[in-house]
Each structure stands twice: as C-alpha cells, then as structure tokens.
Amino acid sequence: MTTHLVWFRADLRLHDNIALAAACRSQHARVLALFIATPEQWREHGMAPRQAAYLRAHLNELQQGLAQKGIPLIYAEVNDFAAQSEKVQQVCDEHDVTHLFYNYQYEFNEQQRDRELEKRLDTVVCQGFDDSVMLPPGSVMTGSHEMYKVFTPFKNAYLKRLKEGLPECVAAPASRGAALSVSDDLNFDYPQADFNPDHFPATEKAAIAQLRQFCKDHAAEYEEQRDFPAVEGTSRLSACLALGVLSPRQCLHRLLAEQPQALDGGAGAVWLNELIWREFYRHLMTYHPDLCKHRPFIRWTDKVQWQQDDKQLQAWQNGQTGYPIVDAAMRQLNETGWMHNRLRMIVASFLVKDLLIDWRAGERYFISQLIDGDLAANNGGWQWAASTGTDAAPYFRIFNPTTQGQRFDATGEFIRQWLPELTDVPGKSIHEPWAWADKTGETLDYPRPIVDHKQARVATLAAYEAARKA
C-alpha cells in the first residue's frame, strides 16, 4: 500500500492547495498530513506574536478540516530547519511513507532545507509544487532570459502570460473515509498576542467569504480608496496570503469573476497590480537570494553612512516622533499588527530619509509586529522606500510627512483615532499641532518633532550622494 505524506508549511488551507490535491489524487493511497513548528527559527527571524497566534488559529482549523475528510494531521515541534528535516525523515520511516508532497517556499534557507531533505529521502518520491504564486519563478523573463529588474515591464509580460491562459484552481480533496475525532488544541512554545477576527478571518471559510465580498463590493473602487487610511478601502487579505490561508490563484479567479475587465486595465486592475507586485518580489527573491541575507539590491547603497540613534529609533517605534501621520500609523501597527499600505511607505520613508536610520532596522521591526509578515513583500517594500532595491523610488524622492498627512488624511480622522492626545486640535491644524498650540497658547501632551524635515532632507541627500560617489 502506498502512503502519501503532505507536509504543510505556509499553505494552511484545503481549497486550491496543489500539494494536498496531488497527494489525494490516488483513491488507493493512504494520506497523512504533517506540520512541524520551529519556534527557535521563528525567534531568529523575529516572527510577530500576533502572526504566531494567527498561525495557531489556522493550524487548528486546518486540523479540524482534514479530520472531517479522514486525513490525520501529525504535529511536531522542533527547534529549527535542520531538526525539521530530521523529523520529516523520522515520520516517513515510522509510517512507511512512499511519496512526500509539499509546496515550494522561495526563501533561501527554506530552499536549502528542501534540497538537503530530498537527498536524505532516497527511498521516498518527493514532489514539490509552485503553489504560493500564480505563475512560477522563471516563467516570466526578459527576451534574454533574465529576471526583470523593473516592475512595469514585468507586469506587462505577466499580464500577457495570464491572458494566454489563467492558472487553474484545484478543488479541496474529497473525503477519504470516516471523519476523525480531534481533541487536541495544537499550540507551540512561542509568544502570542490577540488579533481581531473581524479584520483577520480566523477560518478558511471566513477568508473565502471576505475575498468574495471585497472583489464584489470594493475592488472596483480600490484605486480611488486605497490611499486613505480612514477608509476601509483595502482587502486586509495580506495576512491570509502570508500563511497560505488563501492562494493568489483564488484571489485572481474571484477578482475576474466579479471584475472581468481587470486583465485589460478596467475595474479591479489596480488590485490585480498589487497581486502582481507580490509575485514580482517572490520571483526576485528566487533569482537574487542576497535579498534574504539583509543585503541591498543596489550595492552602492550599502555605503550610506547611517545614523546610530537608538533614542530616535525608539521614538519612531513607539509613535512619538511629533509627526502625527507617522505616529498614528506606528500606533496602529503596535496595537493591531497591521498597517495601511500608504502608511507603510510614509513611515518607512521617515525612518530612512528623515532619521537616516538603516532600513534593515525598520524591516526587522515590521516583521516583529506584522500579522501579515512576509519576507519577500516586507523586504521589497522597505528596499523600495529606502531606494536600495530593484525598481525602487529614486534616492532623492523623500516624502514630506506633514504634506503626506494633509493629502491622505486631510481632516485628521485617522490621526484622531490613534492619537487621542490630539483630539482637541481643530480641523487641518492636526497635521502641525505645535504650530497651532504655539499660536493659541494651548498645552499639548504630545512630543515636538524630533527632527526638522527640511534639514533632514538636505542631510539625507548628501549621505546618499556621498555613497554613490564612493
């Protein structure tokens, strides 16, 4: 009798799971599932406690869903990737596994782990799949068969490939026998923090429902609403994508079902662009593994003389910079584990180009807080903002945090939600509360700006220009 083992990693779902579907294709095989937690590896990578809690919720939900289909989930906890490989081999030996199925992960360490494991399992047939992307790395290349370094031509080539044929979704597996009873609440030795299930669906069914609702009711207006943090104009599905509770193919097909003109630049096209940005960063990481090693894509930017100022870094982390839109955004992150995308750009620009603090400090802090932490997307976003990455903003593009607030939170609705100490500052004065306080004689329980933006801009330009000439 053949025994198929499905190793779940960042793909915690039953629907459109390519490895799971492949393992269940044979009606005669016994199918087992496996998940191996690696708390020490998570600590090394700084995984956010909220993401750990979100993972635990979906892991338990996955166990229940598999059990209903007669598939037992084997759970183990080990320290790191090396021990993870040993555990997989042990499970294969104990259960006479003949075939191992898993979906690829594109980070450098994970790829190394999988290559080494395949060598160890010399009697097991190993099958990996490109599941966390719509199109696999290597399928969208330049005319000279190189990876694109600029997003727009990548996007155009990507859309052409999609128009030639959409990637298919696979169905959830049929039941393979009587439902199994599950009593254990799976948990692991890692800090966890509460998350809001109204914003971040805690079941696969709820995630699919949220995707459907967004594509039907909001995707068409995404372009007009996405930049305003006081408006619920984004999908908030990034946490589901990060853990693989939803697949990007599900997102694509649901979007096109509701907004069929999205592929041709019509309604929904801008949200589709966001899905393609996610793919771009994943493809890049595969071809440029240095991105997984805290190195900039543009090498000369490593010569920028960053400021080592722990006090200013902590002020930024705690939302105490004296710039209301920056502080409101950071407090949203600290309180919820999530931040609106426009605000991610604003706070990243402020840390790097107003405080001249190394972008890697911001990248690490985001991962330590984000419920949707994802190495490729987080690294790509930070390197874009810091002008160190592929297709990055030019180094002389420096956001003015005050005018960004005035533009994207004009009435201060979002700022007042997160900075209650500024509740009494009237109207648009909230973007420069100290100018209002000094003029009126009012007292504020709020810090003055920790840096002068105009002076900081001059210093940052000089630092980048010196690095470029070095």
Catalytic residue (choose from 109, 221, 274, 434): 274
- Residue 42 among known ligand-binding residues: no
- Residue 121 among known ligand-binding residues: no
Q: How many residues comprise the chain?
A: 470
Catalytic residue (choose from 7, 316, 382, 384): 382
- Residue 274 among known ligand-binding residues: yes
Paired sense of beta strands 99-103 and 3-8, if any: parallel
Query: Which residue intervals of 308-432 are DSSP H helices?
Result: 310-318, 324-336, 341-349, 359-369, 375-386, 401-408, 413-418
Active site includes 442?
Answer: no
Model-level pTM?
A: 0.96
Active site includes 274?
Answer: yes
- Residue 203 among known ligand-binding residues: no
Question: What is d(CA 253, CA 166) in angstroms, rounded to the nearest whole number?
Answer: 8
pLDDT at 149: 93
Cα-to-chain-centroid distance, residue 203? 18
pLDDT at 372: 98
Catalytic residue (choose from 79, 86, 306, 334): 306
pLDDT at 160: 97
- Residue 279 among known ligand-binding residues: yes
Residue 36 phi, psi (nearest 5): -125, 110
- Residue 222 among known ligand-binding residues: yes
pLDDT at 392: 76
Catalytic residue (choose from 223, 341, 400, 434): 341
Q: Are 388 and 354 in contact (CB under 8 A)?
A: no
Active site includes 42?
Answer: no
Question: What is d(CA 249, CA 131) in angstroms, rounded to the nearest whole number?
Answer: 9
Residue 205 phi, psi (nearest 5): -60, -45
Catalytic residue (choose from 42, 277, 316, 338): 277
- Residue 184 among known ligand-binding residues: no
Active site includes 400?
Answer: no
Q: Which residues make beta-bridge pairs with 73? A: 33
- Residue 185 among known ligand-binding residues: no
Catalytic residue (choose from 42, 359, 384, 418): 359
Question: What is d(CA 18, CA 252) in angstroms, rounded to the nearest whole number?
Answer: 16
Distances from the Cα of 33 to the Cα of 13, 55, 73, 231, 461, angstroms? 12, 16, 5, 41, 53
Active site includes 306?
Answer: yes
In the chain, the domains with their CATH numbers are 3-129 (3.40.50.620), 132-169+202-287 (1.25.40.80), 299-469 (1.10.579.10)
Determine the residue type at 184.
D
Question: What is d(CA 193, CA 47) in angstroms, rounded to the nearest whole number?
Answer: 12
pLDDT at 184: 81
Helices (H) and strands (E) in the chain, counts: 20, 5
Tens digits of pLDDT across the chain (470 residues): 899 999 999 999 999 999 999 999 999 999 999 999 999 999 999 999 999 999 999 999 999 999 999 999 999 999 999 999 999 999 999 999 999 999 999 999 999 999 999 999 999 999 999 999 999 999 999 999 999 999 999 999 999 999 999 999 999 999 998 999 987 899 999 999 999 999 999 999 999 999 999 999 999 999 999 999 999 999 999 999 999 999 999 999 999 999 999 999 999 999 999 999 999 999 999 999 999 999 999 999 999 999 999 999 999 999 999 999 999 999 999 999 999 999 999 999 999 999 999 999 999 999 999 999 999 999 999 999 999 998 877 888 899 999 999 999 999 999 999 999 999 999 999 999 999 999 999 999 999 999 999 999 999 999 999 999 98
